[in-house]
Amino acid sequence: MKIWLDDLRVAPDGYETTKSVNEAIDLIEECEQNGEEIEVLDLDHDLGDYAYDGGDAIKLLDYLAERETFYPVEIHTANPVGRENMYRMLDRYWPDLY
């Protein structure tokens, strides 16, 4: 499964859409329980009003790092500071992938 986390942009074909961190976590956990492969997480950073449901998307990276579940991640945010912070996390916790 390919998971798209963004509060505004429409997901590309072949992706499952989530708008909040908690919604993305629920979908990830559902995939894990069902043995479904997670191919990629494609993340925005700023989630607007949906940030009230788990924070901005960097919080999803926090959650994954704490669990040591290092799925492939793509970042499509337009926020340059948020992007750099997210890449810093990927460099630190996903060293074999980035």
Q: Mean pLDDT for each 10-residue chunk of the chain (98 residues)? A: 97 97 98 98 96 94 96 96 96 82
Give the β-pairing of 15-18 and 73-75. Answer: unpaired
| Strand order across the 2-5 sheet | 15-18, 2-5, 40-43, 73-75
Quote the pLDDT of residue 98.
Answer: 59
Quote the pLDDT of residue 66.
Answer: 96
* Contact call for residues 57 and 21 (beta carbons, < 8 A): yes
- CATH number, position 17: 3.40.50.2300
**Does the residue 32 lie in any domain?**
yes
What total number of domains does the chain contain?
A: 1
The reply to whether the predicted model has a pTM over 0.85 is: yes
**Does the residue 86 lie in any domain?**
yes
Q: Torsions phi, psi of 87, nearest 5? A: -65, -35
* Contact call for residues 76 and 44 (beta carbons, < 8 A): yes
**Does the residue 98 lie in any domain?**
no
Give me the domain span that covers residue 35: 2-93
- DSSP character for 70? -
**Does the residue 11 lie in any domain?**
yes
**Does the residue 23 lie in any domain?**
yes
